[in-house]
Amino acid sequence: MSPNDLLENIFDKFLQDSHVFKNREVLHPDYVPDNLPHREEQTRRIGNILAPVLRGSRGSNIFIYGQTGTGKTAVIKYVLNRLLQKGREIGAPIEVSYINCRLAGTEYRVLARMSGNVGLRVPFTGLATAEVFDRFKIVLGSRGSLLVVVLDEIDSLVKAYGDVLLYELTRINEGLKESRVSIVGISNDLHFKEMLEPRVLSSLGEEEVIFRPYTAPEILDILLQRSTAALLDDVLTEGALNLCSALAAAEHGDARRALDLLRVAAELTEREGKQRITEDEIRLAQNEIERDRVVEVLKTLPLHSKLVLFGAYLITKASIKNSVTGDIYEVYRELCTVLGTDPLTQRRVSGIISELDTMGVLNSRIVSLGRYGRTKKVSLGIPRGVVRNVYSEDHWVGQLVGYAPKCLSNKE
């Protein structure tokens, strides 16, 4: 018995004492269920397209489109698992590489992870991207295997770095004798295709699979199925179930959202020692999810981004409305002086404000004040208290909690 099984038993035993969960795992975000309801068609199609690799020939490249929480990742992972399993049974040299491009971040890191998946170790940094790509090709050529590369959230990579890597990938087979590479690109941006060059598009888009958002009844169905597997009988009230699917359906049919809500609500119910999950728990879960996301973001920000955000917080606290980039920068500079840090330029701070905006912690929108210029109007995108709470524990920013910027006192 492996140590894992040992723990599995301990955990299972622990779980049996739970008055909420039957099997906690089923609601875990990464859990891939044995069957994916309402996605049979897509599963079948992708299976059909990739099946040729079992016989040693390359499958077509696939482009998958669908919004978040429509089951793209779950379906592809499910198909990959089954493909690997079948491959092992019949001794086909199949390898798969699943990469989330947004999490990987850069072209280089995507390539590095792809290389890692075929057994090529590359350093975090220091090598030219082209160099890693050459090595990757060499290893691939020497292995004589069939590789299925899945590039999830590929749009974020192409937006930031262009489609050069994609182009090189689609071309890779030309230079290989034995190995074959199939590419599966997953995107949730409809306009992604417009960012690709025609030659890349035609190659990647050999096959196209579209995942439509789940309808409200479908989400209800998924929730029902998962909750019966995950939770003890009679724990989930009908009202909670309905609210949960309604909230997720409103969010463009996002099933992941629904499952997150249910999981957090269930954990909450267990912690509180309550017997049933009601609509209240679902609502609390909704708040908790949002707050956790924000807290995580605020904590991991670089120092100067924190200071910019904290500046916006101080301005809001002084009940000044309509702050613009210049006001934020002024306060930010003062904060830097207090901390004895060199301030960044306004150009950079402007960029940081935009970054914070896309993260959703600031709201900024470009306005023209006519004679008084054109700028970004900035306001906090999250509750004031959250900023204070998170940063009062911060090593650097913590000193500034309660600080009243001088440059604000002579404004109204």
Q: Which residues bind DNA (CB under 7 A)?
A: 105-109, 122-130, 302, 304, 324-327, 342-348, 350-351, 353-354, 366, 368-376
Q: Which is nearer to DNA, 50 or 324 (CB)?
A: 324
Identity of the residue, 233 or 372, whose beta carbon is nearer to DNA in the bound complex: 372
SS3 content of the chain, % helix, strand, coil (to 5): 60, 15, 25
Least distance (Å) between residue 336 CB and DNA: 10
CB of 186 to DNA, least distance (A): 21
- Determine how many CB atoms are found less than 10 A away from the CB of residue 392: 13
Under a CB-based contact definition with an 8 Å cutoff, are residues 56 and 92 in contact?
A: yes
Q: Is residue 198 a contact partner of residue 210, using CB atoms and an 8 Å limit?
A: no
The least CB distance from residue 153 to DNA, in Å, is 16
Strands of the sheet containing 323-324, edge to edge, are 323-324, 374-380, 362-368
CB of 305 to DNA, least distance (A): 8
Cβ atoms of 9 and 248 closer than 8 Å: no
Shortest distance, position 199 Cβ to DNA, whole Å: 22
User: Is 2 or 125 the residue whose CB approaches DNA more closely?
Assistant: 125
Choice between 128 and 404, CB closer to DNA: 128
Give 152's strand partners: 100
- The distance of closest approach from Cβ of residue 137 to DNA in the complex, given in angstroms and rounded to an integer, is 15
Antiparallel, parallel or unpaired: β 323-324 and 362-368 = unpaired
Q: How far is the CB of 95 from DNA (least distance, A)?
A: 22
**Residue nearer to DNA on the CB measure, 52 or 351:** 351
Which is closer to DNA, CB of 155 or CB of 260?
Answer: 155
Task: Detail the DSSP E strand segments found in 202-292.
Answer: 207-211
> To the nearest whole angstrom, how small is the minimum distance from the Cβ of residue 310 to DNA?
15
Residue 5 tokens, joined: 């099984």
Number of CB atoms found within 10 A of residue 141's CB: 14
DSSP code at position 144: T
**Least spacing, CB of residue 395 vs DNA, in Å:** 17
Q: At 373, phi and psi to the nearest 5? A: 90, 180
Give the nearer residue to DNA in terms of CB position, either 56 or 162.
162
Pull the structure tokens for residue 54: 């079992």
Nearest to 124 by CA among 108, 137, 138: 108
Of 35 and 345, the one with the shorter C-beta distance to DNA is 345
Helices 255-271, 279-300: axis angle to 10 degrees equals 100
Of 3 and 123, CB closest to DNA:
123
Contact 278, 237 (CB under 8 A): yes
Contacts of 356 (CB under 8 A, 6+ apart): 305, 308, 309, 362, 364
Half-sphere exposure of 83 (CA within 13 A, CB side): 29
Q: How far is the CB of 32 from DNA (least distance, A)?
A: 29
Nearer to DNA, 241 or 353 (CB): 353
Q: Which strand (E) or helix (H) includes residue 408? A: helix 406-409
For DNA, which is the closer residue by CB, 121 or 177?
121
CB 315 within 8 A of CB 331: yes
**Least distance between DNA and beta carbon 285 (Å):** 32
Tell how many helices (H) and how many strands (E) occur in the chain.
18, 8
- CB distance 339 to 403 below 8 Å: no
* CA neighbor of 400 nearest in space, from 297, 302, 317, 300: 317
